[in-house]
């Protein structure tokens, strides 16, 4: 654990962030590379394509013949129509305008106007994205890569015992970086959440944090030799977060960037103290109502902050902001290197 917080390193961050960051982000280079949870698999049906906006880009998602989810740029290379307005045919997405069909790799497999067996120009192929399903999340790898992809992040302790899981979804008019930073900040609780989870919390507190590889763990209170002994919050690159409240209760969130100023946040509660079907369902709904209220309290403050540049460079931070400082440095390193955060890369 660090005994003191180092200066933010504004020059490094300014070098890493695009000078056009004050404009609505349409450039993929604004987003650091890595695995991002972008949706839940249940949002992608088997019988039709779905349009999602992520990273400032319109995407079309559909299921192939095997039921696996595929993701392409939403615009047809022919005339620019939205592929999401089309249909799924033989494991391909078919454009609604002229029936051009694209497979999971983005290859154009059929041009009806040319007839069967016609040679299809490679220029008609569209961009495909690498997506995977894991832990009931849909993950997309953002950025270029060569060789083997890094592992998809997960919190192992969530899957070692029987628990119920329930998810709520909320869209924020804020950048995903701002939303993540809010979740790395325990000392806002007595103020923003004074009527809920911050009730009776003292405003003066010590915030400890540890950065190890692709993870940042923080907690209020005394220093620990075991960072996971008791309550903690933990961020895992690139957009996965957990609030570990007890051995029977964790709240997990993913922060899916819609564009530079909008984020779709998924909040999933894992609880193991009431797992009987009917009673568990009731507990899930009660906790969901509480989380919606807490979410709304956070959102009201976070959307009031400046949303650009992506990484703020003009704030005066204090020692208790150590986890936020660590996150900004981690993000700036990934932007600068254009490589995902790995254990050896995150260490300083």
Q: How are beta strands 240-246 and 232-236 bridged, if at all?
A: antiparallel
Sequence spans of domains, the chain: 41-135, 156-346
Question: pLDDT band at 24, cuts 50/70/90?
Answer: very low
Q: What is the pLDDT, as a whole number, of residue 65?
A: 93
Q: What is the pLDDT, as a whole number, of residue 205?
A: 92
Q: Which of 346, 340, 329 is nearest to 15 (CA)?
A: 329
Domains 41-135 and 156-346 share a fold: no
Residue 2 has pLDDT above 60, yes or no: no
Tell me the per-residue pLDDT of 265-312, one tens digit each, with 9 for 90 and over: 999 999 988 988 899 999 999 999 998 999 899 999 999 999 988 899
Are 206 and 196 spatial neighbours (Cβ–Cβ below 8 Å)? no
Residue 23 has pLDDT above 80, yes or no: no
In angstroms, what CA-CA distances link 96 with 49, 72, 79, 108, 120?
A: 11, 15, 11, 14, 18
Q: What is the pLDDT, as a whole number, of residue 27?
A: 47
Q: Indicate the pTM of the whole model.
A: 0.87
The Cα–Cα gap between 20 and 56 comes to 14
In angstroms, what CA-CA distances link 177 with 111, 120, 193, 202, 333?
A: 42, 42, 21, 27, 15
The Cα–Cα gap between 87 and 68 comes to 16
With a CB cutoff of 8 Å and minimum separation 6, the contacts of 11 are none
The Cα–Cα gap between 251 and 245 comes to 8
Average pLDDT, the chain: 88
Are 195 and 276 spatial neighbours (Cβ–Cβ below 8 Å)? no
Tell me the per-residue pLDDT of 169-217, one tens digit each, with 9 for 90 and over: 999 999 999 999 999 999 999 999 999 998 888 999 999 999 999 999 9
Please give the CATH topology (third level) of the domain spanning 156-346: Naphthalene 1,2-dioxygenase Alpha Subunit; Chain A, domain 1 (3.90.380)
Q: How many of the other CB atoms lie within 10 Å of CB of 64? A: 17
CATH 2.70.98.60 fits 41-135, yes or no: no
Q: What is the pLDDT, as a whole number, of residue 101?
A: 96
């Amino acid at each position: 654990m660090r005994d003191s917080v180092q200066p933010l390193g504004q020059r490094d961050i300014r070098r890493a962030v695009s000078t056009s960051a004050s404009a609505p982000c349409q450039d993929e280079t604004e987003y650091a590379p890595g695995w991002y949870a972008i949706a839940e698999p249940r949002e992608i049906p088997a019988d039709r394509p779905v349009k999602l906006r992520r990273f400032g880009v319109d995407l079309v998602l559909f299921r192939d013949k095997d039921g696996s989810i595929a993701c392409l740029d939403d615009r047809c290379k022919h005339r620019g129509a939205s592929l999401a307005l089309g249909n799924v045919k033989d494991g391909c997405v078919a454009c609604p305008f002229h029936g051009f069909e694209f497979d999971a790799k983005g290859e154009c497999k059929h041009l009806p106007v040319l007839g069967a067996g016609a040679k299809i120009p490679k220029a008609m192929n569209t961009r495909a994205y690498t997506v995977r399903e894991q832990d009931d999340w849909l993950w997309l790898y953002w950025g270029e890569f060569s060789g083997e992809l890094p592992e998809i992040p997960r919190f192992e302790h969530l899957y070692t015992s029987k628990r119920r899981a329930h998810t709520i979804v909320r869209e924020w008019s804020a950048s995903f970086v701002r939303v993540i930073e809010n979740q790395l900040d325990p000392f806002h609780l007595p103020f923003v959440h004074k009527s809920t989870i911050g009730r009776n919390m003292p405003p003066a507190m010590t915030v400890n944090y540890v950065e190890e590889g692709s993870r940042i763990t923080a907690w209020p209170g005394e220093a620990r030799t075991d960072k996971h002994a008791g309550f903690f919050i933990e961020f895992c690159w690139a957009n996965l977060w957990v609030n570990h409240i007890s051995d029977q209760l964790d709240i997990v969130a993913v922060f899916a960037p819609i564009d530079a100023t909008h984020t779709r946040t998924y909040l999933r509660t894992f609880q193991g103290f009431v797992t009987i079907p009917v009673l568990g369902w009731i507990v899930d709904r009660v906790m969901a109502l509480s989380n919606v209220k807490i979410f709304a309290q956070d959102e009201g403050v976070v959307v009031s902050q400046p949303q650009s540049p992506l990484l703020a460079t003009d704030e005066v931070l204090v020692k208790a902001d150590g986890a936020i400082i660590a996150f900004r440095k981690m993000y700036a390193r990934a932007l600068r290197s254009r490589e995902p955060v790995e254990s050896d890369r995150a260490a300083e």
